[in-house]
Amino acid sequence: MTDDKIIQLFFQRKEVAIEETHKKYGSYCFKIANNILNNKEDSEECLNDTWLKAWDSIPPTRPIHFNLFLAKIVRNFAINKYRSKHTHKRGKGEIVLVLDELEECITGQSDVETLYIAEELQNTINKFVRGLSERDGNVFIRRYFYADSIKDISNLYHISENNVRVMLSRTRNKLRIRLEKEGYI
């Protein structure tokens, strides 16, 4: 079923909208959640939360890119779940590596606890990614939005895994400088 038709079902408040969304984007959203949670039950729970959120949001929202609309929601639920479950213990899977890599960007010279507004940080990251070359930007997004593995990224873009690692490392360094410059760290 086309996205237009599914969204139309949401607007008509027909519950089959959720079934169709699950049918079409279930595996897509599951992968995003599972990349973060590395746990089937938790990921499926996130999926259900996502469908519910979509149900509550449409209408009035009419997503332009339905898959990305769902991707953002499911990612958010997955991060929140990850946080609540891993406050005191180290998790497993790709997300651990991803977060460890990101830690490089925020461990600078300054150890001052900085207050920031989440929305401003999102803006900064958005601008930063937009300023990258298409190749660097895409690789960065696959790793830190979708939490894709290095191997998956390598396969997707037909570049060697080593190349992916080097690109990510350079880009993280640039991000660290940017965050430092804008006072986040």
Which of 44, 93, 125, 161 binds another protein (CB under 8 A)? It is 125
Site of tokens 């990305």:
68
Does 62 interact with another protein (rule: CB under 8 A)? Answer: yes
Which of 79, 174, 180, 182 binds another protein (CB under 8 A)? It is 79
Residue 52 CB contacts under 8 Å (≥ 6 apart), including other chains: none
Does 183 interact with another protein (rule: CB under 8 A)? Answer: no
How many residues belong to the site for another protein (CB under 8 A)?
68
Which of 13, 48, 52, 61 binds another protein (CB under 8 A)? It is 61
Q: Considering beta carbons, is residue 52 or 121 the nearer one to another protein?
A: 121
Which of 84, 90, 111, 134 binds another protein (CB under 8 A)? It is 134
C-beta of 45: minimal distance to another protein in Å?
18
C-beta of 73: minimal distance to another protein in Å?
7
Check whether the bond before 60 is cis (ω within 30° of 0). yes
Mark 92-103 as b/e (b = at least 16 C-beta within 10 Å). ebbbeebbeeee
Nearest to 70 by CA among 109, 32, 118, 125: 32
Contact (Cβ atoms closer than 8 angstroms) between residue 54 and residue 60? no
